[in-house]
Amino acid sequence: MMLEVTLLADAASVEALSDALLASGALSVSIEDADADTSDEHPLFGEPGGEPEHAAWRHNRLSALLAAGTDPAQLLAVACETHSIATPRICAQRQVLDADWVRLTQAQFPPTHIGDSLWIVPTWHEPPDPAAINIRLDPGVAFGTGTHPTTRLCLSWLLHHPLRGASVLDFGCGSGVLAIAAAKLGAREVIGTDIDEQALVAARANSARNAVDARYTVPDLLPAKQFDVVLANILANPLRVLAPMLLARVAPGGALVLSGVLQRQAGELLAVYARSDSALPLAIWASEDGWVCLAGRRAGSIALPG
């Protein structure tokens, strides 16, 4: 049996507190946004090719895992005194069973069915339907298991729109799931980009595992060209900042698909994209569990190869 202790910390102290807890004997420390899913949520993001301006949220929730028999108050007091940190209050604590954490984590990601013909299958599972379009996925340390509503919405859009012969840009590719799906659905050229080098490593490995031809690079090294489909499954704040760049990447007749947007954020984001010099008409294409997918198509026609 182990003990999980929950603490709150502000942006100025959270990193030092996490390091102090680990140095004083905590088995692990995880950090989450204490304001997540509220009106005060403040996502972290960086400009393309750069690091986030802030490395912590305004209000942070730390969960520290301690060995059985540890006195949490004493460990916290020693950690904070040793590292000259103000001692926070313990908000909650609970007993946690010893377990095979890798196996339990994997069990949280079963095969995911998208539409009638697509499965996202983690590498530790066998495909439920070998005849379907199966994407074998190992997320690594990158976001993107195919189970989140924002990813499901993008995958559904790809399934409902012909891609054969199209060029596709997956901006913020994470583990590469959308890029791989586009390639399997017939896109002739697929490029994924992410500011996280570890995400690019995972995406390249997943593409090789699925035997698809997709290229991955950092945003600064993207080729200077437009695409028939531009996908961006990130968050509302970076989507707002990136609006001019994403719009400029959409070819005549091409489509722009945005996800990672909460229902309450949709109106503002639609207005941002409508005001841009290279605007195209966006609308809510579909929604799931409070998340929406925005999509639209630029006027003109796509010149696909015969």
Q: What is the pLDDT of residue 141?
A: 47
Residue 7 belongs to some domain of the structure = yes
52 and 81 co-located in one domain: yes
H/E stretch holding 37 reads none
CATH assignment at residue 52: 3.30.70
Where a domain ends, among 45, 75, 98? 98
Residue 244 inside a domain? The answer is: yes
pTM (two decimals): 0.70
Check whether residue 131 and residue 221 sit in a common domain. yes
Domain identity same for 36 and 62 = yes
Residue 188, SS3 per DSSP: coil
Q: Classify residue 305: in a domain, yes or no.
A: no
Q: Outline where the chain has alpha helix (H).
A: 14-23, 72-82, 101-107, 149-160, 177-184, 197-209, 236-241, 243-248, 266-275
Rounded-to-10 torsion of CA 106, 107, 113, 119: 40
C-alpha distances (whole Å) from 192 to each of 118, 151, 207 are 20, 15, 11
Same domain for 122 and 208: yes
The predicted structure's pLDDT at residue 43? 64
Q: How many domains does the chain have?
A: 2
Domain end among 98, 117, 134: 98
Say whether both 260 and 116 belong to one domain: yes
pLDDT per residue, tens digit, the chain (306 aa), is 789 999 999 888 888 999 999 999 998 888 888 888 777 776 655 444 444 555 678 889 999 989 888 999 999 999 999 888 889 989 999 988 776 655 656 666 788 899 989 999 988 889 999 999 999 987 654 456 677 889 999 999 999 999 999 999 999 999 899 999 999 999 999 999 999 888 899 899 999 999 999 999 999 999 999 999 999 999 898 999 999 999 999 999 999 999 999 999 999 999 999 998 788 999 999 999 899 999 999 987 665 543
* Nearest residue to 196 (alpha-carbon basis) of 52, 100, 95: 52
CA distance 157 to 143: 19
Could you tell me if residue 222 is left (phi over 0), alpha (psi between -120 and 50 degrees) or otherwise beta? beta
**CA 124 – CA 225 distance, rounded (Å):** 38
